[in-house]
A and B are shown apart, each in its own frame.
Chain A
């Protein structure tokens, strides 16, 4: 993608969840961008940097409040009581974002954080759940590149189905091996150069027009539609540039049948 490539429309949370939902329902990309301060400007930057020094973890908050969940991670990885003030500030930001995402569908959102990288995310895909309406907020901190999006019309559905019949299990196995061993994708798939080239460029055979992709501003948060039986999902992929620096990803999913 060129330097001048288009950006997503930005959305200010002050406009309200109702306005965000309307935009998410209408836009062909199925995604909006929320501005966030750069890592250097965050009051909890040292805490984030300390967590980035412990790559490869993932935690689902489940029913834990953000401050309790972060305490769990921090105490285990960085020592009891470390960064108490910083993690409280981060927890407050996560709670606010989770409240906003939850309001999109009128439910409590699920939160997880991770510093791992899944190579399967390099392939264009939609997230899927079984509820009627669902959205996912992503805030990756410390990643060099933003998430890429393209319109559903830019995907050749027949070729995509054939491609995934061949690649889906292989991508899942690659994710597991990278998570377990930390090995480089280029090493694990050295015998598959065409697939590595596609992952590096985003130019997969099912993509109709490679120029029609849009990048979330690095460091910003975004919200995208999750595919459900009642709504189409947003097609997205991660960037090759993130594979060695996956950052800390805050993932908030709100899904509801009501």
Chain B
């Protein structure tokens, strides 16, 4: 496992991070086996929604059993106090992320996980209008000074790369989380060079576009459970268009990559500004496959250029 610097936190974390979006509903024994396998492979980063109590409880229990509380860097995303479907400047920062809420959720997550410090605490679905609003930054800076978090960050909504440009350049954050995959390559052109210039770390998420870039036979999207949010997200027209694009991409897979998922993972890690790529894993087999893919390192420039033609969601 290779390690990269998480921006100004000064932490070196594994270039693969475990995404926990489905951990709360996972079989506890399977989840424990997955995490044990990940730790054995040297994965040292976990990404989590701070408001996902089920995932935090299970993760905390597994970390305790594995004796791994001091070996894992937790990258957290705060949940807004006010629910909203889309980033909205009409919800001011002091309503979405008041300081008291940030502190309460951060300390609750620390307690559930049984760790002393989070690697990163982030405001999710960042709105540029929040930069000079509210007491969120003051609160996070205080938590950092208290040693409860190592870094301050923001997490950008799907495809909302532009929202991160001003705050990255402002010096207010240590790292940023952003969707980055073959279909949405926008961050490569604008955000990543800025992050490199300002020493801001990057957590790349959704490298497999919610599973679509890890297709089944003939490039068909795998079926999701009826209670999986992706069932609705990939409504018929979206699914058809995605599958058509995936089927064209499948033809690009060649050794050393054994699958489109491997190619997609390597693509997400190919930009040097990326600190880690967070990908959901449920089984030890998925850990093995993902770790195996990254052994081959970043894609060469010619492959990256060829893949650039497959951008779609940017």
Chain A residues proximal to chain B, CB less than 8 Å: 128, 130, 158-159, 161-166, 168-170, 172-173, 176, 191-192, 194, 205
Contacts and interface: CB of A to CB of B under 8 A. Distances in A.
A205 B160 contact: no
A95 B169 CA distance: 44
B158 to A, nearest CB: 6
Contacts of A164: 85-86
A31 B149 CA distance: 52
B281 to A, nearest CB: 23
A194 B236 CA distance: 13
B158 A191 contact: no
Contacts of B233: 162, 165-166
Contacts of A163: 235, 238
A60 B181 CA distance: 39
Given A169-B158, A192-B312, A205 B236 contact: yes
Contacts, number: 49
A166 B236 contact: no
B305 to A, nearest CB: 15
A161 B85 contact: yes
Contact of B159 (A159, A162, A166): A166
Given A159-B235, A162-B234, A165-B158, 18 more contacts: A158-B232, A162-B232, A164-B86, A165-B85, A165-B86, A165-B233, A166-B233, A166-B313, A168-B86, A169-B158, A169-B160, A169-B163, A170-B313, A170-B314, A176-B162, A191-B311, A191-B312, A205-B237
Nearest to A173: B162
Contacts of A162: 232-235, 238
B87 interface: yes
CB-based closest 8 A-B pairs: A169-B160, A205-B237, A169-B159, A159-B235, A162-B233, A168-B86, A173-B162, A170-B159
Nearest to B240: A194
B90 interface: yes
Given A162-B238, A176-B162, A205-B237, A169 B87 contact: yes
Interface of B: 85-87, 90, 157-160, 162-163, 232-238, 241, 311-314
B235 A205 contact: yes
A166 B87 CA distance: 12
Contacts of A130: 90
A205 B237 CA distance: 7
Main secondary structure on B side of the interface with A: loop
A195 to B, nearest CB: 9
A205 B232 CA distance: 13
26 contacts: A130-B90, A159-B232, A159-B235, A161-B85, A161-B232, A162-B232, A162-B233, A162-B235, A162-B238, A164-B85, A166-B159, A166-B238, A168-B86, A169-B87, A169-B157, A169-B159, A169-B160, A169-B162, A170-B313, A172-B162, A194-B237, A194-B241, A205-B235, A205-B236, A205-B237, A205-B238
Q: Could you say which of B87, B157, B233, B312 has the most chain A C-beta atoms within 10 Å of its C-beta? A: B233
B243 to A, nearest CB: 13
Nearest to A192: B312
Contacts of B157: 169
Contacts of A158: 232, 235
Contacts of A176: 162
Contacts of B86: 164-165, 168
Contacts of A169: 87, 157-160, 162-163
A128 B91 CA distance: 12
A23 B232 CA distance: 36
B226 to A, nearest CB: 13
A109 B9 CA distance: 49
A240 B212 CA distance: 31
Interface centre among A130, A162, A163, A169 (most CB of B within 10 A): A169
Nearest to B237: A205
Contacts of B241: 194
Given A205-B237, A205-B238, A166 B85 contact: no
Contacts of A159: 232, 235
A142 B147 CA distance: 61
Nearest to A206: B235
A97 to B, nearest CB: 26
A164 B313 CA distance: 12
Contacts of B236: 205
Contacts of B238: 162-163, 166, 205
Nearest to B229: A162
Contacts of B314: 170
A128 B89 CA distance: 12
Contacts of B163: 169
A173 to B, nearest CB: 5
A46 B56 CA distance: 66
Of B159, B232, B311, chain A has the most CB atoms within 10 Å of the CB of B159
A159 B160 CA distance: 20
Contacts of B160: 169
